[in-house]
Amino acid sequence: MVYDIIIIGGGPAGLAAGIYAKRALMITLLIEKVGIGGQIIKTHMLENYPGFPEISGMELMQKMEEHVNKFELEIKFTEVLQIKDGGSVKTVVTSDGEIETKTVIIATGTHPKSLGIPGEQEFMGKGVSTCATCDGFFFKDKDVALVGGGDSAIVEALFLTKMVNKVYVIHRRDELRAEKINQEKAFNNPKIEFVWNSNLIAIEGKDTVEKAVVKNKLTEEITELSVGGVFMYVGIKPNTDFVDADKDETGFIITKPDLSTSIPGVFCAGDCRTTLIRQVATAVGDGALAAVSAEKYITEQEQQ
C-alpha cells in the first residue's frame, strides 16, 4: 500500500495536518514516536491560543486529539529513522519496517537543549528538570533556580511560584525575551528574583541538588545559590536528524512559502522548520498549509 500523505509527529502541527489531509480524503498515516501532544503538553497554561483565554497544554492537545479521532486518522507509534526519496514514491524507514507514500509532512518539533555543565546529567531527575509543570510539585516550599529568559522560561517560573518558596531566574543577559505581559507578571511577583548577566556553571549536591553555581559575566564573580532544584529552559534543538533536506546551521529545516523542502514531495510544518516564532497557533497554521500543499503536489504529479 502507498499512502498519499505520511505525517511524522503528533504535536499541534501534525494533528492539524492530519485533520486537513483527512478532510481532503487523502489516504493518510500519522507516525508518532512517543505519544500524541508534543512538547506543549508540558505547558501549565496557555493564554494566547485563540478561542481559549486560558487552557492547559495537556487539555488543548486532548481536544485536538479528539478532533483528529473524529476523522479516523490512522496513527502508528514507532520511530522514523530515514526518508528515502524514490521520486514519485518516498519510503519512510521506521523501527518497525518501511512504509511507502507519495508525500511526507515532517512535524517532529524540538527537544530541550542542555548546557553540558557539571552535575546537569548526574542530577537529571534528582533535582534537575526541563518541565516545571511535570515536576514542580516535588519542590513545594523549596527554593529553586530556573535558567532562561524566553517565554517558556518565564511562564514556567510564574507557575513554580504557586508551590515553591522562591525562584531564582538566571539569565545570561540583562533583559528578557519573553512576551511583555509575562515579563510584567514576573517583575511584579515577589517570589521571583532575577540573577542577570549570569551563567549557570555547575550543579552540586550529594544525592540530590543542593547548589546552583553561578558566574557573573561582567564581574566574573562566582555565587552559590542554595536550591533544591534547577529547571532548564536554555533553548531547543529540532528533531530533524533523520532527514537530509536543506537545513540552517542549527538543524532547522528550510522551507519555501508552501512549506515544501529541498526534497520534492516532502513538506515541513511547525517548530522544526525555520520560522520567526514558535507558537501553537503558528504550528496549527503550518499543519493546515502543509497538508493543502501536499494535496496540491499529488494532484499536479498525477496530471503529468
- Return the active site residues: 131, 134-135
Q: Which residues have C-beta within 8 Å of that of residue 99, sequence separation ≥ 6?
A: 3, 6, 29, 31, 91, 92
Q: Which residue is it, cell 487523502?
A: 26
**Can you read off the three cell numbers belonging to residue 251?**
538543524
Burial state string for 118-147 with b = 16 or more CB within 10 A and e = fewer than 16: ebbeebeeebbbbbbbebbeebeebbbbbb
Residue type, 259: L
Positive or negative, the Cα torsion across 101, 103, 105, 106? positive
The span from the CA of 142 to the CA of 174, in Å, is: 26
Positive or negative, the Cα torsion across 165, 57, 111, 96? positive
Radius of gyration of the chain (CA): 21
Closest CA to 162 of 139, 182, 146: 139
What DSSP string describes 106-152? Answer: E---EEE-----TTTTTTBTTTEES-HHHHGGGGTT-EEEEE--SHH
